[in-house]
Structure 1
Amino acid sequence: MRALVVSDVEDKALWDYYTPGRVKDVDLILSAGDLDADYLEFLVTMTNKPLFYVHGNHDTAYRQSPPGGCIDVDGGLYVYRGLRILGLGGSMRYKDAPFEYTEREMRRRIRRLTPRIRRAGGFDVLLTHSPAAGVGDLPDHVHRGFECLGELVERWKPALMVYGHVHLSYGAGMEREHEFGCGTRAVNAFGKHYLDVEPVGTLPHPWMEPMINARCLRDGEKSADHGFLPGTSGTAFGSYRQW
């Protein structure tokens, strides 16, 4: 599948100077955070493709006005066309603010998701705002990555990690792509970037997909009235407790 990944800076070519056909052959959009909600709404409207997002440390306005028509996967697991997307937004805590976490707090978030990951047989894409420690991060505290994110990748070996937070404009020599020891690609979504991604595994049972997605929407306090949400009606909502 072809993915458009975005984070941190609204791309003028996709917003101010957008023309029909500028984004083509894209199957989904992944937002790694710190973007205007209106920008995400514009992208999902103009492309008519699903947009999955996590929160950046500057996305506090999402608490009152989340981007409409987009799917919040922060702290959840969602399956789209067989692609299992795990979301863990936020940055290292450097002040008292939402969407900032200590290493211990991020580890706790991962532990809460582990039973769901195990039941889904793993995940294919890890969508975060912060990078993992030592893989695309910077030495200062604000832009330091989480060690537990790297451990999560090494344990489950997804095909791809998409992150933001570290701007490629910070200086010369900044690289967009890195690789974990297990072979997982780590891609910095700063601005915009296109890439291909395919599932590295499958759900143990196809009927799990609607339950996983219904639970993800429930966790994000989302309604099921936007598009691209297969199987989010009927018994799926009544069966999420096992997730």
Structure 2
Amino acid sequence: MKILALADMESKALWDYFDRDKIQDVDLILSCGDLKASYLSFLATMVKVPLLYVHGNHDTNYNRFPPEGCECIEDTIFVHNGIRILGLGGSYRYKPGDYQYTESEMRRRISKLRLALWKNKGFDILLSHAPASGIGDGTDLPHRGFETFLHIMEKYEPRYFVHGHVHANYNARSFQRLNHYRETTIINAYEKYKFLYE
């Protein structure tokens, strides 16, 4: 299955200069947040595959104008063609606002999913906005990763962890598109990244 992951910056290649042929092989689109609702709605209209999303810390406008034709999978496990996708959006709390969480708040969100995780026998992809602590995250509070993401990767060994939030232009030399943690391949989906789920 070919998956297109998106985060943080609208791709001109997918919007301003859209060419259906370039993504005709895509079977699923995953959005990691901080993208315009109109951009996601456009892609959901133009590419006839499911588009699943979680919120970024700047997606407060989704409360009034959510992306049309897309499915929010916050705090749930969504199963697509047998692939179990766990959605946990938001960033580390750095000021008052929606879609920001302390470490303990994120831990509680995961704790509330215990039954769903048990019923689904875990998950295959973690879809989040923020990264995990110490793996491709930032040193500042707004871009800190969650330590609890390390724990759920250790426990459930998902194939992939797809996130955004840390932009390539923050520090181009230290930006890492791909990382690994134990059995999990970690993808920073900044702008766009296509990968094959086998």
TM-score > 0.5 by shorter chain: yes
Counting strand residues as a fraction of each chain, which structure ranks higher?
2
Give the whole-Å Cα distance in 1 for the aligned partners of 2:91 and 2:105: 11
Tell me the residue number matched to 1:54: 54
Tell me the residue number matched to 2:15: 15
Amino acid aligned to 2:14: L
Give the whole-Å Cα distance in 2 for the aligned partners of 1:20 and 1:187: 24
Aligned length: 197
Tell me the residue number matched to 1:80: 80
Tell me the residue number matched to 1:115: 115
Tell me the residue number matched to 1:38: 38
Give the whole-Å Cα distance in 2 for the aligned partners of 1:169 and 1:183: 28
Give the whole-Å Cα distance in 1 for the aligned partners of 2:163 and 2:129: 5
Tell me the residue number matched to 1:185: 185
- Identify unmatched segments of 5+ residues in structure 2: none
Aligned partner of residue 21 in structure 1, secondary structure? helix
Tell me the residue number matched to 1:100: 100
Structure 1 residue 99, shift from structure 2 partner: 0.2
| Deviations 1:181-229 (CA, angstroms, capped at 9, x unpaired) | x22000000000100114xxxxxxxxxxxxxxxxxxxxxxxxxxxxxxx
| Deviations 1:157-197 (CA, angstroms, capped at 9, x unpaired) | 000000000001111231101100x2200000000010011
Tell me the residue number matched to 1:194: 194
Aligned partner of residue 194 in structure 1, secondary structure? strand
Aligned partner of residue 42 in structure 2, secondary structure? helix
What is the TM-score normalised by the length of structure 1? 0.80
Structure 1 residue 19, shift from structure 2 partner: 2.1
Amino acid aligned to 1:74: E
Structure 1 residue 8, shift from structure 2 partner: 0.1
Give the whole-Å Cα distance in 2 for the aligned partners of 1:153 and 1:44: 30
Give the whole-Å Cα distance in 2 for the aligned partners of 1:75 and 1:174: 28
Structure 1 residue 145, shift from structure 2 partner: 0.2
Amino acid aligned to 1:19: D
Give the whole-Å Cα distance in 1 for the aligned partners of 2:174 and 2:135: 14
Structure 1 residue 22, shift from structure 2 partner: 2.1
Amino acid aligned to 1:165: H
Amino acid aligned to 1:41: S
- Range that drifts further, 16-25 or 96-105: 16-25
Give the whole-Å Cα distance in 2 for the aligned partners of 1:75 and 1:14: 28
- Identify unmatched segments of 5+ residues in structure 1: 199-243
Give the whole-Å Cα distance in 2 for the aligned partners of 1:23 and 1:169: 25
Structure 1 residue 21, shift from structure 2 partner: 1.2
Give the whole-Å Cα distance in 2 for the aligned partners of 1:123 and 1:140: 30
Give the whole-Å Cα distance in 1 for the aligned partners of 2:184 and 2:20: 34
Tell me the residue number matched to 2:135: 135
Give the whole-Å Cα distance in 1 for the aligned partners of 2:20 and 2:196: 22
Tell me the residue number matched to 2:174: 173
What is the TM-score normalised by the length of structure 2? 0.98
Aligned partner of residue 170 in structure 1, secondary structure? coil
Give the whole-Å Cα distance in 1 for the aligned partners of 2:20 and 2:58: 30
Aligned partner of residue 35 in structure 1, secondary structure? coil
Structure 1 residue 91, shift from structure 2 partner: 0.2
Work out which of the two has the higher radius of gyration on C-alpha atoms and give 1 or 2.
1
Tell me the residue number matched to 2:147: 147
Aligned partner of residue 161 in structure 2, secondary structure? strand
